[in-house]
């Protein structure tokens, strides 16, 4: 199929754990935030909430109750710590930029659908060198409900001008897989952040981004339309 025809198909990428190998950087930023507040923060605690917005974590899953103002301040501080970490050592996911560029050349409409705040998303896209290829970028500040609610992906599809059924979502977290499914999209799960069992609801599971290609995504999307 010609590249022009692919403009009726979209691919929406989660950012953390998909295009950015940010798991360790996010854990470290949460650990530092907790330490500043006098708490220890375990990898098990981090894994249990990975993929949720930081506001949701601080509001409902933190070590102590926080007021709305305290949530906002802690949220800002956590993300400031995260950006400090990735500026020093930016962790690109192998094959990520190459896949995005190949899809762009093939004519797919592309978007980011991330729970992260705008400053994190903007910095990551800049460091990835992908600023000019995404037709839509949706961040955690654009939505009222975080994953597993599908709002972030539905808004990304809307901004691309596509129906949800014409879009594939590339995700690494169970909450993101659930969001894509709830939104009526084809879901591709990238292993590494979660176990294969936790990602089993996805339509396709891959261990590396270089297992994906424009032809494979085109075939997958057209098969379910």
What six digits make up the tokens of 52? 């949720």
Catalytic residue among 16, 21, 56, 203: 16
Q: Which residues on adjacent β-strands are paired with residue 206?
A: 190
Query: What are the φ and ψ backbone dihedral angles of 30, each rounded to 5 degrees?
Result: -65, -40
Whether a cis peptide bond, with omega within 30° of 0, leads into 222 is no
Cβ atoms within 10 A of the Cβ of 89, count? Answer: 8
Question: Kindly report the CA angle at 86 between 80 and 89, in degrees rounded to 5?
Answer: 150
Query: Distance (Å, rounded) from C-alpha 181 to C-alpha 148?
Result: 9
Match 């992908």 to its residue by tokens.
Answer: 130
Active site residue 203: no
Nearest to 77 by CA among 28, 27, 125, 29: 29
Burial class for 53, CB neighbours closer than 10 Å (0-12, 13-18, 19+):
buried
Residue 172 is a catalytic residue: no
Phi, psi of 176 (to 5 degrees): -70, -40
Q: What whole-number distance in Å separates Cα of residue 56 and Cα of residue 74?
A: 12
Instruction: Show the tokens assigned to 191.
Output: 């292993």
Which residues does the annotation mark as catalytic?
14, 16
């Amino acid at each position: 199929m010609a590249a022009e025809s692919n403009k009726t198909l979209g691919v929406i990428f989660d950012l953390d754990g998909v295009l950015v190998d940010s798991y360790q950087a996010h854990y470290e930023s949460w650990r530092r935030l907790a330490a500043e507040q006098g708490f220890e923060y375990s990898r098990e605690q981090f894994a249990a909430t990975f993929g949720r917005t930081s506001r949701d974590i601080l509001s409902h899953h933190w070590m102590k109750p926080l007021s709305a103002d305290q949530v906002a301040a802690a949220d800002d501080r956590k993300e400031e710590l995260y950006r400090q970490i990735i500026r020093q050592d930016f962790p690109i996911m192998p094959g990520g930029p190459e896949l995005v560029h190949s899809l762009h050349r093939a004519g797919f409409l592309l978007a980011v659908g991330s729970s992260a705040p705008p400053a994190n998303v903007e910095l990551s896209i800049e460091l990835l060198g992908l600023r000019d290829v995404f037709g839509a970028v949706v961040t955690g500040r654009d939505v009222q409900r975080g994953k597993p609610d599908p709002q972030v992906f539905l808004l990304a599809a809307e901004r691309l001008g596509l129906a949800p059924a014409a879009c594939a979502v590339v995700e690494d977290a169970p909450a993101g897989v659930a969001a894509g499914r709830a939104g009526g999209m084809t879901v591709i799960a990238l292993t590494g952040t979660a176990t294969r069992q936790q990602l089993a609801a996805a339509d396709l599971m891959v261990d590396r981004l270089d297992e994906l290609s424009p032809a494979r995504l085109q075939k997958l999307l057209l098969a379910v339309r």
